[in-house]
Amino acid sequence: MWQRWFTVKGRSLFSIAFSLHRLTGIVLTIYLCMHLAYLTSIRMGKEVFESFIATTVTPQFLIFDILLILAGVYHGVNGLRLIIHEFGLAYESRKSILYISVAIALIVWLIASYRMYVFVMGV
């Protein structure tokens, strides 16, 4: 049944936005669990935690971080778009608002990715 969240054939951009919202929600949930497990490692000592940091804050992991930021930013901005409509506002402009929210998500993602690139690569 849940596979039908991802039916996009013959559908409009709104269904694609919905499917991506679901997909990014699942990704963020998995990430949250991993993140909490990761943070818990500090209970095993500073050295253990820092060894985790040394493993993940690396150029090899940068692509995953960039994709994670994309998922997070898209989910957040699209969520705000949904809240606007669910408060009873701007249905008639929903297409424009969808385009604007995707544009905002892309801009924020590019800026965040650039900053992460500079931080990790040290350039």
Partner 1 sequence: MDVEFKIKRFDGEKSYWQTFNIPVKKGMTVLEGLYYIKENLDGSLAFRASCRMAICGSCAVKINGKPRLACETQILEIGNKLEIEPLDNFRVIKDLVTDFEGFFAKHESVKPYLIRKDDNYEEPVELIQSPKELYAYYDFTLCVKCGICYSVCPAAATRDDYLGPAAITAAYRFNADSRDEGEKTRLALVCGDNGVWRCHFAAECSEVCPKQIDPAKAVQKMRFKAAIEAIKSIFR
Where along the sequence are the contacts to partner 1 (CB under 8 A)?
1-2, 4-5, 7, 9-12, 14-15, 17-18, 21, 82, 85-88, 91, 94
> Please, what is the minimum distance in Å from the beta carbon of residue 87 to partner 1?
7
Say how far residue 118 (Cα) sits from the centre of its chain.
Answer: 20
Q: Which is nearer to partner 1, 87 or 123 (CB)?
A: 87
Taking the complex as a whole, how short is the minimal distance between the CB of residue 19 and partner 1, in angstroms? 8
Tokens coding 50: 């820092």
Q: Which is nearer to partner 1, 20 or 70 (CB)?
A: 20
Between 6 and 119, name the residue whose CB sits nearer to partner 1.
6
CB of 92 to partner 1, least distance (A): 8
Amino acid residing at 77? V
CB neighbourhood size of 60 (10 A)? 9
Shorter beta-carbon distance to partner 1: residue 12 or 55:
12
26 neighbors 42 (Cβ within 8 angstroms)? no
Cβ within 8 Å of residue 55, ≥6 positions away:
61
Shortest Cβ 32–partner 1 spacing (Å): 20
State how far the Cα of 123 lies from the Cα of 118, in Å rounded to an integer. Answer: 5
